[in-house]
Amino acid sequence: MGRKILFDGVIKYKDSINIRPDSPALNFGMGLFETILYENNRLFFFEDHIERLRSSSEELHLPLPRFDHASENHIKELVSQNGMTDKTTRVKIRYAPLFDEEKWNLFASVSAYERTVNFITATVDLRVRENYLSRFKTISYMLNRLSSKNSTLNGETLFVNGSGQITEGSRSNLIGVKNNALYFTGTKEYYLQGIMQKNIIRDHKKIGFSDAVGLEGGFSPEDLGSYDEIMITNSLIIAKPAEAVNYGNIKYSFGSRKHTNQILSFYIK
């Protein structure tokens, strides 16, 4: 019957779960999700992901999840029953009303994942992406998904706000390095601050950086060329260096991976 999933605290074959055509999740994109890296019997930043799921539910006035249905031990058992204990694995936890808008379901799946540190090329989508829900990791993910599919294998699409400033990527956050300091989109902006970015900013002095600066309004295109290195981050890739950022007809080239490697060495041991 194929792979197993964790559904409301019980491990089942995924084919045994039948979503109704009138599901609120299917019809209205209602739901939240988290993506977690599993490697060497370790779930990276598990508590941070669970806390974001809790705080997002609270802020959006949703029923609070039953976190005892998706504990760290539950997830590791799911990894084991899918025969992926010794593999690098993508764990996806979803919280959505699959059958009834009043009853939300908490479920998780696992799949193989290969993390690479190849250079990426980022291209800015000049259409404005700025709304309140951008702060949350919702399953209403169509724009991000389409942008991601339109990118090359080692590419990423970056989004801008109403002022034309770059805020985030379709599946990542952006970090710039200049004079050994980190720069990132300020947390008051309408974008999703990723768990990985949050931890890199928190740990910046331990990693070896002198400062971490939130940029009010996001990254100014005119300043892109002033950075020593640009990288993208998320919970699966940890960090990847950018070889170039394309903004309209302008190409900003980088090619350094020194600081990205510094971050990877700190977290992958």
pLDDT in tens, 22-76: 999 999 999 999 999 999 999 999 999 999 999 999 999 999 999 999 999 999 9
- Does residue 141 share a domain with residue 233? yes
| Contact (CB, 8 A) for 106 and 70 | yes
- Does residue 128 share a domain with residue 105? no
Cα–Cα distance for residue pair 123/120, rounded to 1 Å: 10
Once rounded to an integer, what is the mean pLDDT over residues 83-105?
Answer: 95
Give the pLDDT of residue 152. Answer: 64
Higher-pLDDT residue of 101, 232 = 232
Which domain, by its residues, includes 78?
Answer: 4-112
- Does residue 263 share a domain with residue 142? yes
Range 32-44 burial, b when 16+ CB lie within 10 A, else e: bbbbbbbeeeebb
Cα–Cα distance for residue pair 105/128, rounded to 1 Å: 33
Q: What is the pLDDT of residues 122-177, one digit of tens each?
A: 999 888 777 888 899 999 877 777 777 666 668 899 999 989 999 999 999 999 99
Q: Which of 86, 112, 138 is the last residue of a domain?
A: 112
Give the pLDDT of residue 3. Answer: 92
Taking all residues of the chain, what is their mean pLDDT, rounded to a whole number? 93
What DSSP character marks residue 222? Answer: G
- Find, among 136, 159, 163, 130, the residue nearest to 147 by Cα: 159
Quick check: 1 pLDDT over 60? no
Residue 246 β-bridge partners: 123, 251
Residue 160 β-bridge partners: 128, 166
What DSSP character marks residue 9? Answer: T
Give the pLDDT of residue 150. Answer: 63
Q: Which of 95, 112, 129 is the last residue of a domain?
A: 112
Once rounded to an integer, what is the mean pLDDT over residues 204-220?
Answer: 97
CA distances from 229 to 101, 186, 189 (A): 46, 18, 22
Regarding pTM above 0.85, the answer is yes
Give the pLDDT of residue 147. Answer: 74
- Does residue 137 share a domain with residue 94? no
| Contact (CB, 8 A) for 201 and 229 | no
